[in-house]
Structures are given as structure tokens and as C-alpha cells.
Amino acid sequence: MNTATKNFIDLYTREREVIQSNSSEIINGLRTDAMLNFKKLGLPSRKLEKYKYTDVQKYFEGDFLTNFDRKPINYEPSEVFKCEVPNLNTVQAFLLNDSFYPTIDKKELLPKGVTVGSLSQMADRFIEWFAKYYGKIANTREDALVALNTALVQDGVFIYIPKNTVVDVPIQLINILSGDQSTLVNRRLLIMAEENAQVNILMCNHAVSAVDFLQTGVTEIFAGENAHINFYEIEETHSRTHRFNSTFVHQAANSVVQVNTMTLMNGVSCNNTNFHLAGQGAHADCNGMTISDKEQHIDNITLIDHAVPHCTSHELFKYVLDDKAVGAFTGMILVRPDAQHTNSEQTNRSICLTKEARMYARPQLEIYADDVRCGHGATVGQLDEKALFYMQARGINRDEARLLLMFAFVNEVIDKINIDPLKEHLHQLVERRFRGELCNCAGSALNK
């Protein structure tokens, strides 16, 4: 057993009482099993196929400050931190490290019956419901990182949209990492949209202190029959943030779910996205985009599991890698026996701008049904010289022409967003990012 794994087992053994007494019963209920699985699996090494491109153990080494005794938050986050999308009204909830901030901005805009709140509080209130759904799709037997999160997590966000409810206003979750020294943060999200419900969720990740952060996260999304969920996640942290996130989506018949992960600024990110298409006629849309430079590291791992017939899925991931950035993409499309009439498409396109930038692409298909159409395409290359020349011939200087091309390249992912002001906002953020300017959405201290 490696030392990092051992340290975390020790941490759990030592802090167990504190962790449990500051969380809820349902969440506590899964800890023992999760820890057993974590012990069995150990933190993944690069020998494990799934984490071949990210040295997980390395990032889990070292001393981290924890907040297991839940210190109260003594300031108003919305006053010190602004994360507004221009021209867009959102219901804003804050997550400070792993604590849910109790005041929700513009809560009155939510339709009746919609719940947005602290995971542990809601777990105490809806015990039966939580027993049925919490931790049910985030499997701790297969992934040590999910197991570790399940064992250590105390709080997070819970979003519930009842039957036939359409939430017009996007729900914005603002995650802020802050601390005086290296900090460990364990977050958890549970999202449920019942039959015919519709919701847009925007999650913004920021880091405001110039210290190391290690963040584990698990998001569970349940889409009921004919439900529509759009889940947009933007990461704008800094080079000392190490993020290991797993998202699990369970889709009932005719539901449509989009998960769009956009990484603008980060240190090390490992985003694990799993779709389980469990009802006929479901559609999954899994997109991602990253703009990385310096020594950023981004690893997107996706699995789309077609378990029943007549489902469709669409995947698009784009990477722009500058300086010494490392990008990795693993995309598995699994079509189970009898999942006939599946239509699945996956695309991964990457641009390496420098000699030191590295890209690893692993698009994979595992197919056990014959009447299907599945395809994947992956390319790694550079900007089109002809296009650059064309623009230069028309008086656009080379730098500007390059920028335009890169901008157009990643825009394909941004354009999948169906909230116009957000799209516009991202266009601007991306442009600033390419120009090397400060992203002022964040106010993050470390953005260049």
C-alpha cells in the first residue's frame, strides 16, 4: 500500500467520530463500506488503465488542512465574491470549500416545490428519499476516488425539481476554494429532476487563496422520464488546485441530459463523467472543452453506457494545449447486448501549440449489439496554415488570425450551451483567456 493511501486511511480512522458527528445519518451510513472499498482499491497508480495519464497518488501526498468539525462561515460570500453572468438572472447558492452557505440569493425566483439546499440538512429531512437515491449510482466498488469521497464527505448541495416543473431561471452554484494553507475539500452534489421537469444548472469553480487545494467531488444526477437537465460546469481555479471529480448520470426514458465541462484555468483536473442510459429514447450529450497552458494538466474520462435500445448519445471534446500543458481524453461508448438501434457519436479534437504540449487520446468502443451506428473520431494537429495565410492575406496579423482560429475551434463546444447570455459570457472569457488577460469573472487572486 502506498503512503498516500495509508495517510488517508489513517485520517479517516482518526477523524471518524468528528466527521460523523458533523454530518447526517444517511451520509454516515455509507462510510464504512466506502472505506473498506478504498482500502481494497488503494489510490490508483498509473498502472491502472483508467488513470494511466494522471498520477493520482502524487497529488494526494502531503499534509492537508481539513474542516471536519465544520467551522461556521463568518462572512457573506456574495459580498466578497461576485460571479455574475451579465444579462442573466440566476438563483445563486454558495459552497465555501465543502460547506454550504445557508443564504440563497434570489430564492424567490424558484417555482414552488423546487428545493436547493445543503445536502446534509436535506438528508435529515428527506430520510426515505435519500436512502433510495444517495450514493446509488456513484459506485464505490470500482473507483477509489469515489470511495474516498463517499467516506469523507460531510456536505454538499442538493437540488430537487418535482414532477412537471420547469425552472426558468438557471440555478448557479458557486464553489469557492479558500484557506490559509493546503486544504482538502470533499464535495458532493445530488440532483434530481422528476418526470417532465426541466432545469439548467451552472456550476462555477473558483479558488481565491494562493495555497494548494485538493478537491474530491462526486455529482449524482437523476433524470426522470422526459426530464431535461443541462449541467454546465466551468472551472476557473488556479495552478495549485488539484481536482478529482466524478459525475454520474442516470437517465430514464426520453430524458435529455447535457453535461458540459469547460476548463479555462486549473492546475490538475481529472473529470470522470459516466452516463447510464437506462430508459428507451434517452439522449445524452457530453461535451467538454479546455484551454490549457503552462503546466496545466487535464484528464477527461467519459463512459456512456447504452443499456437499453433506442438511445442516442453525442460527445464532443476539444482541447487547446499551449506551453507544457498535458491533455488526456478517454471516451468509452459501451453498447450492451440488446441495446439495439443505438446511435452514438464521439469526437475529440485537439490542438497542440508548442513542442512541449502533450496530448493523449483514447476513444474507445465496446459494442455487443449489431443493429447500431457508433462512430468515433479523434484528431491531434495544429492550426490550419492555409486559413492563417488566407487571413493574413486579408490584412489580419498572424497573432490575431491564430486567435480567431482557436476561438472558432473551441466555440463549437460553447455553442452547445442553450442559455444565450451565458454563451456570450463564455465567448468573452475564452477570448480574454486566449489573450492572456485576467478573467474578471473570478476575481481569483492567482489568475494570470
Partner 1 sequence: MEEANKYVKEFTQEKYKFGFTTDVHTEVIEKGLNEDVVRLISAKKNEPEWLLEYRLGAFRHWLTLSIPTWAHLRIPEIDFQGISYYADPTAKKKDGEIDPELLKTFERLGIPLNEHNALAGFAVDAVMDSVSVKTTFKETLREKGIIFCSFSEAVQEHPELIKKYMGSVVGYKDNFFAALNSAVFSDGSFVYIPKGVRCPMELSTYFRINAINTGQFERTLIVAEDDSYVSYLEGCTAPMRDENQLHAAIVEIIVKNRAEVKYSTVQNWFPGDSEGKGGVFNFVTKRGICEGEGSKLSWTQVETGSAITWKYPSCILKGDNSTAEFYSVAVTNHHQQADTGTKMIHLGKNTSSTIISKGISAGKSENSYRGLVRITPNADNARNFSECDSLLIGDKCGAHTFPYMDVHNNTAVIEHEATTSKINEDQIFYCNQRGLDTEEAISLIVNGYAKEVLNKLPMEFAVEAQKLLAITLEGSVG
Of 338 and 400, the one with the shorter C-beta distance to partner 1 is 338
Instruction: Name which of 100, 92, 134, 133 is nearest 117 in CA terms.
Output: 100
Query: Using CA atoms, how far apart are residues 273 and 219, in angstroms rounded to an integer?
Result: 9
Is residue 405 close enough to count as binding partner 1 by CB under 8 A?
A: no
Q: Are 55 and 46 in contact (CB under 8 A)?
A: yes
Of 380 and 413, the one with the shorter C-beta distance to partner 1 is 380
The H or E element containing residue 423 is helix 420-435
Is residue 294 close enough to count as binding partner 1 by CB under 8 A?
A: no
**Helices 398-414 & 385-393 angle (0-180, nearest 10):** 120
Q: What is the DSSP letter of 334?
A: E
Is residue 370 close enough to count as binding partner 1 by CB under 8 A?
A: yes
The sign of the CA dihedral 14, 151, 134, 328 is positive
Q: Are 315 and 302 in contact (CB under 8 A)?
A: yes
The window from 169-177, 279-287, 366-374, 409-417 that contacts partner 1 (CB under 8 A) reads 366-374
Is residue 295 close enough to count as binding partner 1 by CB under 8 A?
A: no
Query: Using CA atoms, how far apart are residues 287 and 343, in angstroms rounded to an integer?
Result: 16
Instruction: Name which of 217, 216, 223, 195 is nearest 133 in CA terms.
Output: 223
Q: Are 188 and 153 in contact (CB under 8 A)?
A: yes
The window from 258-266, 346-354, 413-421, 428-436 that contacts partner 1 (CB under 8 A) reads 346-354
Of 169 and 365, the one with the shorter C-beta distance to partner 1 is 365
Query: Using CA atoms, how far apart are residues 124 and 133, in angstroms rounded to an integer?
Result: 14
Is residue 159 close enough to count as binding partner 1 by CB under 8 A?
A: no
Is residue 382 close enough to count as binding partner 1 by CB under 8 A?
A: yes
The window from 183-191, 198-206, 210-218, 367-375 that contacts partner 1 (CB under 8 A) reads 367-375
Is residue 58 close enough to count as binding partner 1 by CB under 8 A?
A: no
Of 94 and 409, the one with the shorter C-beta distance to partner 1 is 409
Is residue 365 close enough to count as binding partner 1 by CB under 8 A?
A: yes
Of 27 and 321, the one with the shorter C-beta distance to partner 1 is 321
Is residue 71 close enough to count as binding partner 1 by CB under 8 A?
A: no
Contact pick of 284, 359, 414, 439 for partner 1 (by CB under 8 A): 359
Other CB atoms within 10 Å distance of the CB of residue 227? 28
Is residue 384 close enough to count as binding partner 1 by CB under 8 A?
A: no
Is residue 381 close enough to count as binding partner 1 by CB under 8 A?
A: yes
Q: Closest distance between partner 1 and the C-beta of residue 5, in Å?
A: 22
Contact pick of 360, 387, 419, 431 for partner 1 (by CB under 8 A): 360
Is residue 44 close enough to count as binding partner 1 by CB under 8 A?
A: no
Of 380 and 426, the one with the shorter C-beta distance to partner 1 is 380
Contact pick of 16, 358, 402, 427 for partner 1 (by CB under 8 A): 358
Q: Are 320 and 430 in contact (CB under 8 A)?
A: no
Is residue 277 close enough to count as binding partner 1 by CB under 8 A?
A: no
∠ CA 153-154-160, rounded to 5°: 95
The window from 11-19, 71-79, 187-195, 351-359 that contacts partner 1 (CB under 8 A) reads 351-359
- The total number of residues shown for the chain amounts to 448
Residue 238 carries which side chain, given as an amino acid letter? H
Instruction: Name which of 101, 188, 194 is nearest 149 in CA terms.
Output: 188
Contact pick of 65, 73, 137, 367 for partner 1 (by CB under 8 A): 367
Is residue 368 close enough to count as binding partner 1 by CB under 8 A?
A: yes
Q: 348: which 3 cell numbers?
A: 475529440
Contact pick of 378, 388, 404, 419 for partner 1 (by CB under 8 A): 378
Query: Using CA atoms, how far apart are residues 302 and 309, in angstroms rounded to an integer?
Result: 20
* Residue ranges in contact with partner 1 by CB under 8 A: 49, 337-338, 340, 350, 352-382
